[in-house]
Amino acid sequence: MGQNLPAPVCVKPAESKVRSIWTNKRLYIAAFLFFNVFINYTHRVTLSMAGPAIAKEFSWNPGTMGLIYSSYMWTYVFCITPWGTQADHIGTRRVNGISITMWSIAGVLTGAVTGFLSMMAARLVLGIGEAASFPTCGKVVRQWFPASERGLATAIFNSGTFAGPAVAAPAVAWLVLHSGWRMAFVITGATGLVWAALWMKYFDIPANCSWLPEAEREYILNGTGGAGKPAPKGTLRRLASRTTMWGLFLTQGCCAYTMFFYLLWLPSYFVQERHMDLMKASLFTAVPYLVASVLCVLIGNLSDRLLTHEGVRQGNRRRLLIVFILLSTMVVLTNVIANQYAMLVLVCASLTCISSALTLNIAMTSDLVWNSSMVGTALGISILGGIVFGIAAPIVTGFIVKSTGSFGYAFYVAGALLLCGVLSLLTMTRQPLSFDEVEEGN
Exposure b/e, 58-67, CB count within 10 A at least 16 = b: eebebeebbb
Check residue 381 and give its pLDDT. Answer: 92
Q: 182 or 308: whose pLDDT is higher?
A: 182
Read off the pLDDT of residues 107-141 as tens digits, 9 standing for 90 and up: 999 999 999 999 999 999 999 999 999 999 999 99
pLDDT of residue 106: 94
Of residues 277 and 4, more confidence is placed in 277
Q: What is the pLDDT of residues 264-286, one digit of tens each?
A: 788 888 888 888 887 888 888 88
At 209 the pLDDT is: 93
Residue ranges per structural domain of the chain: 24-207+214-428
For 170-225, how does the pLDDT look when each residue is reduced to its tens digit (9 = 90+)?
888 899 889 999 999 999 999 999 999 999 999 999 999 999 999 999 999 988 87
Which one, of 149, 169, 148, 126, lies nearest residue 33 by Cα?
A: 149
Between 73 and 240, where is the model more confident? 240
State the pLDDT at residue 115: 92
Q: What pLDDT score was predicted for residue 3? A: 42
Residue 102 to residue 132: CA distance in whole angstroms: 11
Where residue 14 falls among pLDDT bands split at 50, 70, 90? Answer: low
- In this predicted structure, the answer to whether residue 387 has a pLDDT above a threshold of 70 is yes
Q: Does 3.20.20.70 match the CATH number of domain 24-207+214-428? A: no
Q: Is the pLDDT of residue 11 over 50?
A: no
Spatial distance between the Cα atoms of 156 and 34, rounded to a whole number of angstroms:
6
- Across 8-22, 35-49, 181-195, 250-264, least confident range: 8-22
Contact 367, 382 (CB under 8 A): no
pTM reported for the whole predicted model: 0.78
